[in-house]
Amino acid sequence: MEPSAPRRRVTIVDVARHAQVSTTAVSKVLRNAYGASPEMRSKVRRAIDELGYRPHAGARGMRGQTYTIGVMLPDIRNPFFPEVLDGITHALEDTEYQVLLGPGCNGEKAEARVTEAMIDRGMDALILIAPVSRRDHLESVAGAVPTVVVGRHGSSPVYDTVVNDDVEGACLVVGHLVGLGHRRIAHIDHLETDPTRLAEMPNARRADGYRQAMRAHGLAASIDVVSTSYTQEGGYLGAKQLLDRPLRPTAVFAGADVVAMGVLEAVAEAGLSVPGDISVAGYDNTAFAALGPISLSSVDQAGHEIGSNAARLVQDRIADRSRPSVQVRLSPALVPRRTTGRPPAAACDGSA
Amino acid sequence: MEPSAPRRRVTIVDVARHAQVSTTAVSKVLRNAYGASPEMRSKVRRAIDELGYRPHAGARGMRGQTYTIGVMLPDIRNPFFPEVLDGITHALEDTEYQVLLGPGCNGEKAEARVTEAMIDRGMDALILIAPVSRRDHLESVAGAVPTVVVGRHGSSPVYDTVVNDDVEGACLVVGHLVGLGHRRIAHIDHLETDPTRLAEMPNARRADGYRQAMRAHGLAASIDVVSTSYTQEGGYLGAKQLLDRPLRPTAVFAGADVVAMGVLEAVAEAGLSVPGDISVAGYDNTAFAALGPISLSSVDQAGHEIGSNAARLVQDRIADRSRPSVQVRLSPALVPRRTTGRPPAAACDGSA
DNA sequence: TTGAAAGCGCTAACAG
DNA sequence: CTGTTAGCGCTTTCAA
């Protein structure tokens, strides 16, 4: 037995014939549109069930909608994104919409390819998660199809946004560390040069929040930011630099959990203990932060909420494309764990 | 400025008019089809560039292909899948095909929804990664669209498969532990009751491999399998049981890295050290297994190869639907790290 | 080699 | 409330 010739799909014409009605009638029932009597509806529904009919989304898309929402993720490996995705799919699972994901894209070119592919496939709306593309590209996408941008600050009249308050999150971390008695608190940031991104990307906001909080606590003189990248390696390299300082920081606030992992690696390599010799905090509260052997203090962004908000906004905008754009900002929460503690006694006079 | 009325898309008609040719000619150029002179081709290509034309995949799908390949992932959180996905997208990135992912599906119902959605959207082929659906559903999917099933043993005439040799992988782990001097080696499996899945799912094969290897090393009497689930919690609960044994195992082979994480958690909680008191090995060689503070011994499945093979098979089958089905099996490799070591001296007489 | 014309499956506009 | 008709943007005959 070899793969049989693909049997012809059941179409709306088959259903119409089987139910003894017009294709228009079937179409109306499919879309719950106005203008079909109850008995007509039930007759059509029965035919649909009997024939096992499912509409062809591509064909629907030629005139109306495809009932498909595209979600673009920058990096599948970042364990924060699944949370957001769950929030989206969960909010959409009782609707007719189907979510499809673009595969991990690194960089503007890959993002452009994926967004274009989604537009070309007639998706009804797009949710872009932490895109790195320039603002004008995002706006051109939003011009073609209803778009919600997640995890990027700065608003646009053409797309809606959902963000986490990264400044507040950073303040929470600094406050927590100061409360434990730390004064020499360093921060590892993702190096950013592009001016728009510097204003809109979460990493820049976290660094800002760090600086603000340090000043607010009277620690302006101790501000110490190392810019590497939001990767494990970036954390490792950043920590190396910090550990070489003549006056070593007693705490490191890594801009992301992955970064914190790299920091922990470097700290272990230097023969120092956490949090005995140095405290480490991350951001994102990813699944592995909670893992027993790691137990990383972090900041929870409520990824699920972010996702469900994005799903709501996207549906609202499909319903009314000319509605003014909406910005949703969610508050993060500190999740203290075992990598943060009181600074070593000897360090207390550091800034005294 | 509110979202402007979406400007009309450039269509093949616009291109044809601009290049002063027929739409048929444009279509031929798009598909590199036979029957267009070089000068015609260049004329059309120029028009395409000048107008920024991109074909509408949905419309193409009505007669021909959509140039879209659907990939279904069971669980986005499992860090093994991104590897496979990378292999797929990398192999496909220089082709006209675009990869779209179905969101994480747990269970047969969610899988059915996603596969149907992909078929309804006219995808040219599907790659199903570690699906849990019953065999007949997989075959019905494969009957509708070219399909490659990844990570599931057992062959079918209607779909191609790519698997890792899970039996061999399990043998590698047991051999490694035996070589270090372990005899009481326990295994944590994913509980499986469905008979097809018991024969086809990787977890069952790993458990089989474990048993085979134990017997081959003359350790049949020490075979000890706990069945929980392939999650961190499953590992935690399984380890709890194992640590309560009157004669505690000196090594635990967890069926997956996530499971091993749960084991490490339980072991830490019990105040035992790894590998001093107990060795732990995982399977999948996921990114966090390599993390410094964890450094988990594991088995590498060459996810990237698996993905590129799947991509190749899928293209071959699009080209020839009636070709006999192909099974690809790849060999795993052991990656020893710091969670496995010699058993504690006191335990050596355990089986003497 | 070229292009006119007929659909693919569906929805929108309109007439009965 | 119902059905007829004309497309959506593309590919595929098939004639020229």
DSSP A79-137: TTHHHHHHHHHHHHTTSS-EEEEE----SHHHHHHHHHHHHHTT-SEEEEES--S-HHH
Residues of B within 8 A of A287 (CB-CB) are 77, 232
Distance of CA A135 to the CA centre of its chain: 17
3-22 of B, contacting A, C-beta below 8 A: 3-4, 6-7
Q: Residues B81-106: pLDDT tens digits?
A: 888 999 999 999 999 999 999 987 78
Confidence bin at A352 (pLDDT 50/70/90): very low
Region B298-303 average pLDDT: 92
Pick the CATH number of B12-54 from 3.40.50.720, 1.10.260.40, 1.10.10.60, 2.40.110.10: 1.10.260.40
Is the pLDDT reported for residue B28 higher than 90? yes
Burial letters A341-352, b for 16+ CB under 10 A, else e: bebbeebeebee
Using the Cβ of A101 and the Cβ atoms of chain B, whether some distance falls under 8 Å is answered with yes
Say how far apart CA B102 and CA A254 lie, in whole Å: 32
What is the predicted pLDDT for the residue at A347?
55
pLDDT tens digit sequence for A141-200: 999 999 999 999 989 999 999 999 999 999 999 999 999 999 999 999 999 888 877 889
Q: CA distances (Å), B270 to each of A18, A292, B227, in order?
A: 67, 12, 21
Average pLDDT over residues A116-129: 97
Nucleotides of C under 7 A from a protein CB: 1-5, 7-13
- Which single residue is written with the structure tokens 């009782």? A94
> At residue A127, does pLDDT exceed 60?
yes
Dihedral angle sign, alpha carbons of residues A28, A34, A36, A37: positive
pLDDT of residue A350 exceeding 50, the answer is: no
Read off the pTM.
0.90
The answer for residues whose C-beta is within 8 angstroms of residue A149's C-beta and 6 or more apart is A128, A131, A138, A156, A159, A160, A161, A162
Nearest to B310 by CA among B114, B302, B102: B302
pLDDT band of B150, cuts 50, 70, 90: very high
pLDDT tens track for B206-264: 999 999 999 999 999 999 999 999 888 899 999 999 999 999 999 999 999 989 999 99
- Rounded to an integer, the average pLDDT of A323-337 is 96
State the Cα–Cα distance between residues A249 and A210, nearest whole angstrom.
15
Are A12-54 and A68-164+302-331 the same fold in CATH?
no
Whether the CB-CB separation of A128 and A148 falls below 8 Å is answered with yes
Q: Residue at minimal CA–C1' distance from D2?
A: A25
Fold type of domain B166-301+335-348: Rossmann fold (3.40.50)
Map residue B330 onto helix, strand or coil. strand
Selected for mutation to probe chain A from B78, B83, B98 (highest A CB count within 10 Å) is: B98
Nearest CA to A280 out of A222, A218, A238 is that of A238
Tokens 């990383």 appear where?
A: A296
Measured between alpha carbons, how far is B75 from B81 in angstroms, rounded to an integer? Answer: 8
Confidence of residue B66 (pLDDT cuts 50, 70, 90): very high
Residue B75 has pLDDT above 90, yes or no: no
Closest residue (Cα, C1') to C7: B63
User: For residue A32, what are its two tokens?
Assistant: 């719950």
Best CA proximity match to B227, nearest among B259, B192, B252? B192
Is A45 within 8 Å of A29 (Cβ atoms)? yes
pLDDT for A349 equals 44
Task: Kindly state whether A143 is in contact with chain B, defined as any CB-CB distance less than 8 angstroms.
Answer: yes
pLDDT at B14: 95
A321, closest residue in chain B (CA to CA) = B3
Helices (H) and strands (E) in chain A, counts: 14, 12
Lowest mean pLDDT among A203-207, A244-248, B121-125, B300-304: B300-304
Q: Which residue of A has its CA nearest to B271?
A: A293
B:241-300 residues touching chain A, CB 8 A cutoff: 261, 264-266, 268-269, 287-288, 291-294
Query: What ranges do the domains of chain A cover?
Result: 12-54, 68-164+302-331, 166-301+335-348
User: B68-164+302-331 is classed in which CATH architecture?
Assistant: 3-Layer(aba) Sandwich (3.40)
Give the model's confidence band at B49: pLDDT under 50 very low, under 70 low, under 90 confident, else very high. very high
Mean pLDDT of all residues belonging to chain B: 91
pLDDT at B7 over 80: no
pLDDT value at position B347? 55
| 8 A C-beta contact, residue B9 and residue A165 | no
Within 10 angstroms of residue B230's Cβ, the number of other Cβ atoms is 24
Whole-number percent of chain B with pLDDT over 70 = 96
- CA A285: distance to chain centroid? 13
Mean of the per-residue pLDDT values of chain A: 91
Nearest Cα to B117, choosing from A90, A98, A61, A122?
A98
Mean pLDDT throughout B128-138?
A: 92
